[in-house]
Amino acid sequence: MCLNFVRGGGCYATDGRCLLGLEGSSAKNDDRKCVLHGRFDVWVMQDDRLLISDLGFPSEEPKQCLALGINEQLARQIGGERSRQIGNAFLTTERKCLGCEKKFWYSDHELSTKQAQTGRGYLCPNCLSHETEDDLTRKLGYLGYWCG
């Protein structure tokens, strides 16, 4: 079932009707049948900060979920609107690559093993794909030892 589908055929993520109609009740976010489906969630945290995340349930207990399994554009739209309402900026789990300094999402990576698993948190998919296991171990240094 779509994580944002509510009784009556509405979409919790948009406060409106489901774009898939009655089919929305059986659509799964992972199937991406709806253009709004994606890998992002929007949370209101206990201190009223907003969080846009691609990592699933946050480590800190959230106060409220605004949307689950939606695309990045809709997540930023929902986060932006809510942040203007409460006067708080939103945070994201987006990261800055230690290699090329471009921003990336952890979920941009495919599953990997060994040091590459640890590298997913620090290097974008492009930079990570160009690293050998030895180079990656050397670049991560204590991070690879501590985390991996």
Q: Are residues 72 and 137 in the same domain?
A: no
- Whether the pLDDT of residue 134 is over 70: the answer is no
Spacing of C-alpha 37 from chain mean position? 12
Provide mean pLDDT across the span 123-143: 69
pLDDT attached to residue 5: 78
- Per the structure, how many domains does the chain have? 2
Q: Are residues 112 and 68 in the same domain?
A: no
pLDDT attached to residue 53: 94
pLDDT tens-digit map of 9-27:
778 777 778 888 878 878 8
Spatial separation of the C-alpha atoms in residues 51 and 57, rounded to whole Å: 11
pLDDT tens-digit map of 44-87:
998 888 999 998 888 888 999 888 889 999 999 999 999 999 88
- Final residue before a domain boundary, out of 72, 92, 112: 92
Q: Are residues 76 and 110 in the same domain?
A: no
Q: Are residues 81 and 40 in the same domain?
A: yes
pLDDT attached to residue 20: 86
Q: Are residues 72 and 133 in the same domain?
A: no
Q: Are residues 35 and 88 in the same domain?
A: yes
Spatial separation of the C-alpha atoms in residues 125 and 42, rounded to whole Å: 24
- Whether the pLDDT of residue 101 is over 50: the answer is yes
Q: Are residues 101 and 29 in the same domain?
A: no
CB 49 within 8 A of CB 83: no
141-146: list long-range contacts, CB under 8 Å, 24+ apart.
143/118, 144/115, 144/118, 144/119
- Whether the pLDDT of residue 121 is over 70: the answer is yes
Q: Are residues 66 and 14 in the same domain?
A: yes
Q: Are residues 13 and 65 in the same domain?
A: yes
pLDDT band at 139 (very low <50, low <70, confident <90, very high): low
The range of the structural domain enclosing residue 53 comes to 5-92
Q: Are residues 104 and 66 in the same domain?
A: no
